Chains A and B, each alone.
Chain A
Amino acid sequence: MFACLYVPDFPVQAELLSESPETRKGLTQTPLAILDGPANLPRVVSINELARSAGIQIGMTKLQVEIYGGVLLRKRSIASEESAQSKLLDFADGFSPRVESTAAGTVIIDLAGTEKLFGSPKSTAHKIIASAVEIGLSLQIAIALNPDAALYAARGFQGITIIPAGHEARRLASLRIDVLPILPEMSEVLDGWGTHTFGSLAALPTVALTERLGQEGLYLQKLARGEVNRPLLTAEPIAEFIQSFEFDDPVETLESLFFVLNRLLQQLCSSLVARSLATNELRLTLELEVRRIEGGKEGEQYEHDWKLPVPTQDKQMLFGLVRLHLEKNTFSAPVRKVVLKVVPIRPRIAQGHLFAPPSPEPEKLEITLERIRGVVGSTDEDGRDCVGSPKLADTHKPDSFAVQHFSSIGESPNSSSAGAPVIALRVFRPPLETSVELDSEKPHLVWLWHRNRRVLAASGPWCNSGNWWSASRWAREEWDVALKTPAGIGYYRIYRDRILKQWFVEGVFD
């Protein structure tokens, strides 16, 4: 069986869906008409029930509608309709994995194998209607043995229509043929024959109809009889989930931006949840309002990516990440448009380990790291992260390391890895420039902490060099020296940079 979900007055309902629930509630109690067409002569393309009761008709001009008064006029938004169609597909996905996006405001779902989940076709239809009301959609549903019978029944009959197998022709008979995809010239011919309903078209002799209207006529008759059986053109799985919002007036305050971001993330997370998916990659794009410069750019974009160690569907967590990041950044211009994109992947299914050590929750950890970055900054002058796990670089050059993303998911350490305690070096970053007085080619006095310190013992020189083939070559001569300080003896590592011809204090053994 196939169920067709049809959204009557789709442009109106799409417009309502783009509003917040509170605004939507107010708009449902107001006559609303959607206008489209050239700017100088827009016409009504869709109206709600209240506007219909007030006498507004499809095709009226804006001027004609304004005569009635009290009717709210809105311009048709393709973006809202695309978003509503995407929402309708997500919604249908919750009932069957095989969904066809037939037209704007119309989807057909294959109900085969869903009986045990949702019950009889009638029960399924009631459940669909009830769920649709929750997300703010008003639907007409028809269930039939083939997709096209369900499609025309949904478009033609209000509420729920269940067509038992073999009764398609009889049930569709009362429908007007206007809902069929008929070419204008063929419509004139049928009109001339007095054929206005599915029933009259179905009753025409097949051979004679084919002789006069050809294969197209025969196809239309089969549609009217509910005999066309075609496979569903199922919607391709969406590779990425995108939500965007364009402000009427560019916003300057973060509060306004957060309000919209929260709503967009809610929609993205709902879509992910509806498809049993999660995301580990979030991209934020902000289009900034920049004054038009002659020959220059019209706008400017700000982009930021978040790569999460674990997939998540948690809106609060994603919103927290975005909020903390935006709070520590300033932009050169007000924000005109905001786009959020998430990359869907399968959610993480992991069994907690009974004997594993307690670890920071991966989702909360990301927020924690972002908060810490807000305090200490993201990167240093060399472009290395200020927050993360240290990783040694594959080089002999001293103090060469990288800082990589810290994650609480990873392999356990080898239990025998902790060795005997060693003397640690406290590094001065950057190294302290100093002057050294030599005696018999050994350091005798070292300038440190604003005065010359006497060298009590020295170990060296230890020569080291690398990258001689490139511009980043280095060569140094290291000494480990014991210096007399007011607090006692300090053991320092000093070195002479043989390229800069300068002495430095690298650190203290502590």
Chain B
Amino acid sequence: MNRAVLKAQIEEAIPSAFTVHKRQQQQCIPTGITQIDNAVQGIPLRALTEICGSNMASSGKTSLLISLLAQASRNHFCALVDASDSFDPCTGQAAGIHLPRLLWVRCGKSKVKLRPLEQAFKVADILLQSSGFGLIAVDLSSIPERFVRGIPISSWFRFSRVIEKQSAALVFIEQEPHATSCAGLVLRLTNEPATFSGNLLTKFNPKIEVVRAQGKKPVRSENLGFSLQTQWA
């Protein structure tokens, strides 16, 4: 059978069978850290991002989140789902977060039967249903790893499908990446020894590894270094 005839027959039965799906140009929210913004253009909208780092050692993941919130709150309304109530508003303001534009949800603080992890996921679900937020960040990094590992892959898949249709970025802060292929960007942070200037802690020297990025094909790891200063430095 002629190829053209076959194609016509298929198109008659399935009109969009040969329509090329054009991927929209990736829009990003800058993180405010030049090295990361140069490497991956920032945190992608319409995608799930994972920022990972150790819970016990200082990795710089919270500093990255705070910097991202500071940049995002200039142009968007942001939501921070804080599973362990560890956000420090004082640091947030020092970093330049426009606090009135930040919805802070403190999980596990009242006498509710649900565990903080379940609360965080339910709240993230509610926030995704109500549009209008440019950045939804879910901080799970203080939740023990064994609990986060138990989240079924279907939950991550659902989040990634929902966020695809919204002009917002969904960011998870964890100890290890869990969303696998559902994540559009995975960043892993580790820290080199900090700098003490005399008697003062002044500088952090985190290393960041781009584990996965949608915009970069083929996927490859990339290591970047940057420095963060303390408020008093």
Contact = CB atoms under 8 A, between A and B. Distances in A.
B90 A398 contact: yes
A361 B129 CA distance: 12
Contacts of A460: 199
Given A457-B196, A509-B201, A489 B191 contact: yes
B230 A422 contact: yes
A378 B111 CA distance: 10
Interface string B52-73: 0111111111111111001101
Contacts of A489: 57-58, 191, 193-194
Given A358-B167, A485-B56, A417 B98 contact: yes
Nearest to B142: A426
Specify which of A361, A389, A425 lies most central, judged by the most chain B CB atoms within 10 Å of its CB.
A425
Nearest to A375: B122
B160 interface: no
Contacts of B60: 423, 510
A368 to B, nearest CB: 4
Interface string B39-62: 000000000000001111111111
A389 B101 CA distance: 7
A206 to B, nearest CB: 74
A228 B55 CA distance: 88
A368 B62 CA distance: 26
Contacts of B56: 449, 485-488, 490, 508
A488 B67 contact: no
A509 to B, nearest CB: 5
B219 interface: no
Interface in A365-393: 365, 367-369, 371-372, 375-381, 386-392
A388 B104 contact: yes
B96 A424 contact: no
Interface stretch (B9-17, B19-27, B130-138, B149-157): B130-138
A407 to B, nearest CB: 8
A429 interface: yes
A403 interface: yes
B32 A376 contact: no
B132 A408 contact: yes
B228 A422 contact: yes
Interface in B107-151: 107-112, 114, 119, 122-123, 126-127, 129-134, 141-142
B181 interface: no
Contacts of A358: 76-77, 131-132, 134, 167
Contact of A422 (B54, B112, B142, B229): B229
B132 A361 contact: yes
Contact of A390 (B57, B87, B107, B111): B87
Interface in B198-233: 199-201, 204, 228-231
A37 interface: no
B95 A421 contact: yes
A122 to B, nearest CB: 51
B109 A386 contact: yes
B75 interface: yes
B201 A426 contact: no
Interface in A336-369: 357-361, 364-365, 367-369
A510 B196 contact: no
Nearest to B196: A457
A423 B60 CA distance: 7
Interface string A478-510: 001010011111110000000000000001111
Contact of B86 (A403, A429, A486): A429
A79 to B, nearest CB: 39
A425 B191 contact: no
Contacts of A238: none
A55 interface: no
A1 interface: no
Interface in A402-442: 403, 406-408, 410-411, 413, 415, 417-429
B33 A421 contact: yes
B103 interface: yes
Contacts of B108: 376
A424 to B, nearest CB: 4
Contacts of A115: none
B102 interface: yes
A257 to B, nearest CB: 23
Contact of A376 (B88, B96, B105, B142): B105
A401 interface: yes
Contacts of A390: 87, 89, 92, 99, 102, 104
A66 interface: no
A459 interface: yes
Contact of A403 (B75, B104, B112): B104
B70 A488 contact: no
Specify which of B58, B91, B122, B133 lies most central, judged by the most chain A CB atoms within 10 Å of its CB.
B58
Contacts of B32: 418, 420-421
B57 A357 contact: no
Contacts of A408: 77, 132
Given A377-B109, A386-B110, A457-B196, A490 B57 contact: yes
Contacts of A357: 75-77, 134
Contact of B74 (A365, A392, A418, A487): A418
B194 A376 contact: no
Contacts of A365: 130, 132
Given A422-B228, A489-B58, A427 B104 contact: no
Contacts of B66: 421-422, 424
B93 interface: yes
A380 B126 contact: no
B201 A418 contact: no
A372 B123 contact: yes
Given A358-B167, A422-B229, A489-B191, A510 B89 contact: no
A399 interface: yes
A426 B123 contact: no
Nearest to A484: B57
Interface of B: 32-33, 53-67, 70-71, 73-77, 85-112, 114, 119, 122-123, 126-127, 129-134, 141-142, 167, 190-191, 193-194, 196, 199-201, 204, 228-231
Give the top 9 A-B pairs by smallest Cβ distance, nearest first.
Answer: A377-B110, A360-B132, A488-B57, A413-B98, A418-B96, A390-B89, A380-B109, A487-B54, A510-B62
10 contacts: A380-B109, A389-B100, A389-B101, A391-B99, A421-B64, A422-B91, A424-B62, A424-B92, A482-B201, A485-B57
